[in-house]
């Protein structure tokens, strides 16, 4: 809950693209093979591109967990490849896991003919650069890659190379096979969540391992405000801490970012005074998640290390859930503040009514029974209702709350003093008129006590938004029950005697309710006019 409260102060959300801003469900759309781009929807090419798909199967993991691996195996079955039998005909000799620096993964296989072949998958620009293609062919492959990426596809390069019994894996002079282009559409509701963040004064930064063109295309689809210039991990590696602080101020999309660079980005943002929320799912993301003010791990695809380092775990890996956490954090803090404003607003007149009679040489207004009723019944019951309060309609249109801002801000103190003094003026006014001026001590106490409780009920009802009032049944019921109890106390003489109150005439009873109602009503109207003048 402390982390959710902190989320309400977030000024920057650093979000991964794949699986957070997008669905993370890959669908093969195009391939580049034999210097030609094929559309997957055209079934006539299935047999022709089978060698590329077979190479892709052996380039990736045999046990499909990643969405890319699952899609390649799905499509392989679609074109008639028996995936289980295909892997049975190959024996994995060695592999080199994906490296954030090389952006490639390698697998060395031996087939039934005892022939060793190495298969490689990775970022296209790295695979093409490390291939044995001529410069002309490299340019053709890069051109195809850029066209696919500019369409928003996630592109994977596939290569192979003759292996050796020494089990050594080679990363250069690869035989380029082709490219796989997969779509990963934005998640439903992400665009609206991004817009909500930006209206709330929260900046969203996209951090991804994909290339610039794909990231830019997705940013356009989801309505992410961004600088047209995009920085890469290679750019970040050349920057000093000071230069990186300037970069995070100007740029909104960072591509081909290595996990350790996420930590540096968090450091740079925090150095600028930002309250940073950072998403991550891998083991290497743990330091950045720990360093961020709000570390957010993915519950579905995140590692145990990432979930342990984070303060919040998203069960659906959805960016919209982050925005919901921010909204909930703001709501919790806002309701807590309103509860305290109410408490102080109501206690100010109680303190005033305890002190002011002494200046006029009068006895105390409240007896122990009155204090017990006010402090043990009225206050606690009312405050409990605030925790169920819905968020204000413009809560996500307000800028983030400063992290070091006190719970009771200067603006809140103005509200407390205004409300408290208005209630004090009403209650003490009754007491002064009947006790000091007309020497009717019990009647003055009765009207002061009754008007104070009535003012509390009207304060709860009228100083909140209508949608909050009608949706919070508990806080709607409490004022009415309070007024009914007050009516019963004054109506039945045994209760009236317990509270040392006097009977009221119809005119006095009406005034006891009407005057505080008018005072709170004037305050409510004045507040709305003031807020309207500021908007």
Of residues 4 and 165, more confidence is placed in: 4
What are 252-266's pLDDT values in tens digits? 999 988 888 999 999
What are 391-412's pLDDT values in tens digits? 888 888 888 888 778 888 888 9
Q: Is the pLDDT of residue 474 over 90?
A: no
Which pLDDT score is estimated for 443? 92
Find the DSSP H helices in 310-367: 319-359
Q: Is the pLDDT of residue 419 over 90?
A: yes
Q: Is the pLDDT of residue 229 over 90?
A: no
Nearest to 288, CA basis, from 314, 315, 270, 304: 270
Residue with tokens 């299935």: 46
**334 DSSP β-pair partners:** none
**Four-residue CA torsion sign, 236, 239, 244, 249:** negative
Token pair of 270, please?
């925090």
Helices and strands, number each (H, E), in the chain: 22, 14
Which of 115-124, 372-381, 398-407 is least confident? 372-381
What are 425-465's pLDDT values in tens digits? 999 999 999 988 998 988 999 999 999 999 988 998 888 88
CB-CB neighbours of 32 under 10 Å: 27
Q: Which secondary structure element, helix H or strand E, spans residue 27, and what is its range? A: strand 27-33
Listed in order, strand segments (DSSP E) in 8-69 are 12-16, 27-33, 36-39
**Four-residue CA torsion sign, 524, 530, 534, 535:** positive
Q: Tell me, yes or no, if the pTM score tops 0.95.
A: no
Contacts with 102 (C-beta within 8 Å, 6 or more apart), sequence order: 122, 126, 171
What are 281-296's pLDDT values in tens digits? 888 889 999 999 999 9
Which pLDDT score is estimated for 163? 82
**DSSP 8-state class, residue 358:** H
Of residues 503 and 362, more confidence is placed in: 503
Residue 457 three-state SS: helix
Which pLDDT score is estimated for 253? 93
**DSSP 8-state class, residue 187:** P
Q: Is the pLDDT of residue 534 over 70?
A: no
**Four-residue CA torsion sign, 99, 252, 154, 312:** positive
What are the CA-CA distances from residue 51 to residues 32, 34, 191, 340 (Å)? 12, 10, 39, 69
Cα diameter, the chain: 114
Cα angle, residue 36 at apex, residues 34 and 40 outer, rounded to 5°: 105
Which of 338-352, 416-430, 488-502, 520-534 is least confident? 520-534
Which pLDDT score is estimated for 182? 94
With contact defined as beta carbons under 8 Å apart, do 331 and 395 qualify? yes
CB-CB neighbours of 267 under 10 Å: 18
With contact defined as beta carbons under 8 Å apart, do 155 and 214 qualify? yes
What are the CA-CA distances from residue 256 to residues 61, 359, 433 (Å)? 22, 74, 77
Output the average pLDDT for the chain.
89
Residue with tokens 């002309």: 136
pLDDT band for position 535 (50/70/90)?
low
Contacts with 123 (C-beta within 8 Å, 6 or more apart), sequence order: 103, 104, 156, 157, 209, 211, 256
């Amino acid at each position: 809950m402390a982390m959710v409260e902190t989320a309400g102060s977030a000024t920057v959300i650093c979000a991964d693209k794949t699986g957070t801003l997008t669905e993370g469900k890959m669908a093969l759309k195009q391939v580049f093979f034999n210097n030609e781009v094929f559309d997957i929807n055209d079934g006539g090419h299935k047999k022709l591109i089978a060698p590329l798909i077979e190479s892709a199967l052996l380039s990736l993991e045999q046990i499909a967990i990643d969405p890319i691996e699952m899609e390649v195996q799905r499509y392989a079955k679609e074109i008639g490849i028996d995936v289980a039998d295909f892997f049975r005909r190959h024996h994995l000799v060695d592999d080199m896991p994906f490296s954030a620096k090389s952006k490639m993964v390698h697998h060395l296989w031996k087939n039934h003919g005892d022939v060793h072949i190495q298969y490689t998958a990775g970022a296209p620009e790295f695979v093409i650069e490390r291939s044995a293609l001529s410069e002309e062919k490299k340019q053709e492959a890069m051109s195809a890659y850029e066209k696919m990426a500019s369409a928003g596809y996630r592109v994977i390069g596939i290569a192979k190379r003759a292996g050796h019994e020494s089990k050594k894996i080679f990363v250069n002079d690869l035989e380029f096979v082709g490219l796989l282009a997969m779509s990963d559409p934005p998640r439903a509701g992400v665009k609206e969540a991004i817009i909500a963040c930006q209206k709330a004064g929260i900046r969203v930064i996209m951090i991804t391992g994909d290339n610039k063109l794909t990231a830019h295309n997705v940013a356009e689809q989801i309505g992410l405000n961004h600088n047209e210039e995009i920085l890469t991990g290679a750019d970040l590696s050349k920057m000093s801490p000071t230069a990186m602080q300037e970069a995070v101020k100007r740029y909104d999309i960072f591509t081909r970012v290595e996990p350790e660079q996420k930590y540096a980005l968090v450091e740079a943002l925090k150095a600028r005074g930002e309250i940073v929320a950072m998403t991550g799912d891998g083991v290497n993301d743990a330091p950045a998640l720990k360093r961020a003010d709000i570390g957010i791990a993915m519950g579905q695809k995140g590692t145990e290390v990432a979930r342990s380092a984070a303060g919040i775990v998203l069960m659906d890996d959805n960016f919209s859930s982050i925005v919901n956490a921010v909204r909930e954090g703001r709501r919790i803090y806002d309701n807590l503040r309103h509860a305290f404003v109410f408490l102080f607003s109501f206690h100010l007149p109680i303190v005033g009514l305890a002190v002011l009679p002494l200046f006029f040489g009068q006895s105390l207004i409240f007896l122990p029974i009155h204090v017990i009723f006010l402090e043990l019944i009225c206050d606690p019951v009312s405050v409990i209702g605030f925790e169920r309060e819905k968020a204000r309609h413009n809560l996500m249109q307000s800028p983030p709350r400063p992290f070091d801002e006190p719970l009771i801000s200067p603006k809140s103190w103005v509200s407390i003093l205004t409300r408290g003094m208005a209630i004090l003026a009403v209650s003490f006014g009754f007491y002064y008129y009947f006790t000091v001026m007309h020497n009717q001590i019990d009647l003055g106490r009765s009207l002061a006590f009754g008007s104070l409780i009535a003012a509390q009920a009207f304060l709860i009802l009228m100083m909140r938004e209508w949608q909050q009032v009608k949706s919070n049944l508990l806080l709607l019921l409490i004022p009415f029950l309070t007024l009914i109890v007050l009516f019963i106390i004054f109506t039945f003489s045994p209760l009236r005697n317990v509270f040392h109150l006097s009977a009221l005439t119809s005119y006095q009873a009406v005034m006891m309710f009407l005057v505080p109602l008018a005072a709170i009503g004037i305050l409510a109207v004045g507040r709305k006019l003031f807020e309207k003048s500021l908007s």
